């Protein structure tokens, strides 16, 4: 896990949570993101064909937002702020249901089963916390300069709300671990 953090595969602020998942006898994580702010040159905010201009897993500064807006783009520039997402594998239906309930109680309201395979029940835990802001079209900034500080604040608020729910999930996992003893 330490190597994954060093090479950027795992967000350092989610390590403790992941360790708690691995202490549970009925579930383990496959992939995770603690929440992020991404600027992407793409026709739509969700498009996989886009080019990532900027990506961090922490709040951004106004200067960083201004720098993002100064970049040349091809289609549309979207600033996306997203809450956490965790993919986990549960050993059976009851375990999948239990981990989804724990997550939903922590504010991960858009959680559910993705698939069932030889590994087990694959669940996605996500908050639904997100903001997509169209910032440029055809390389022209469409945001008002005098509103950039408010936009930056909002982007950060969305990210931090997701991280708050991540902390609540960690607390719910602590309670679950105590109940297993």
User: What are the structural domain ranges in the chain?
Assistant: 2-176
d(CA 50, CA 41): 5
pLDDT for 8: 55
How large a percentage of the chain has pLDDT more than 70?
Answer: 94
pLDDT category of residue 148 using cuts at 50, 70 and 90: very high
Pinpoint the alpha helices (H) of the chain. Answer: 2-6, 15-23, 62-70, 93-105, 148-180
* Top-tier CATH class for 2-176: alpha beta
d(CA 145, CA 97): 47
Report the predicted TM-score, pTM, of the whole model to 2 decimal places.
Answer: 0.90
pLDDT category of residue 168 using cuts at 50, 70 and 90: very high
Average pLDDT of the chain? 93
Say if residue 170's pLDDT is above 70: yes
111, 126 contact by CB (below 8 A):
yes
Query: Which range (11-15, 33-37, 58-62, 169-173) has the least confidence?
Result: 11-15
Q: Give phi and psi for 111, each to the nearest 5.
A: -95, 145
pLDDT category of residue 11 using cuts at 50, 70 and 90: confident
Q: Quick one: DSSP state of residue 78?
A: E
* Cα-to-chain-centroid distance, residue 137: 25
pLDDT category of residue 157 using cuts at 50, 70 and 90: very high
d(CA 99, CA 79): 31
Tokens linked to 57: 């897993």
HSE (side-chain half, CA atoms, 13 Å) at 173: 22
Pinpoint the alpha helices (H) of 92-147. Answer: 93-105
For the four alpha carbons of 47, 6, 127 and 29, in that order, the dihedral sign comes to positive
């Amino acid at each position: 896990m330490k190597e994954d953090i060093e090479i950027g595969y795992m967000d350092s602020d989610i390590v403790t949570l992941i360790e708690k998942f691995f202490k549970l006898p009925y579930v383990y994580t496959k992939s995770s993101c603690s929440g992020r702010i991404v600027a992407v040159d793409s026709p739509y905010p969700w498009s996989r064909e886009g080019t990532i201009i900027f990506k961090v897993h922490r709040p951004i500064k106004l200067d960083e937002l201004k720098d993002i807006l100064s970049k040349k783009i091809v289609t549309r520039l979207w600033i996306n702020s997203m809450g956490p997402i965790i993919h986990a594998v549960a050993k059976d239906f009851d375990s999948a249901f239990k981990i989804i309930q724990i997550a939903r109680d922590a504010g991960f309201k858009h959680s559910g089963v993705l698939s069932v395979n030889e590994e087990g029940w694959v669940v996605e835990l996500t908050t639904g916390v997100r903001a997509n802001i169209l910032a440029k079209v055809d390389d022209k900034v469409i945001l008002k300069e005098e509103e950039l500080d408010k936009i930056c604040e909002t982007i950060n608020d969305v990210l931090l709300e997701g991280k708050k729910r991540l902390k609540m999930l960690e607390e719910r996992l602590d309670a679950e671990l105590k109940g297993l003893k």
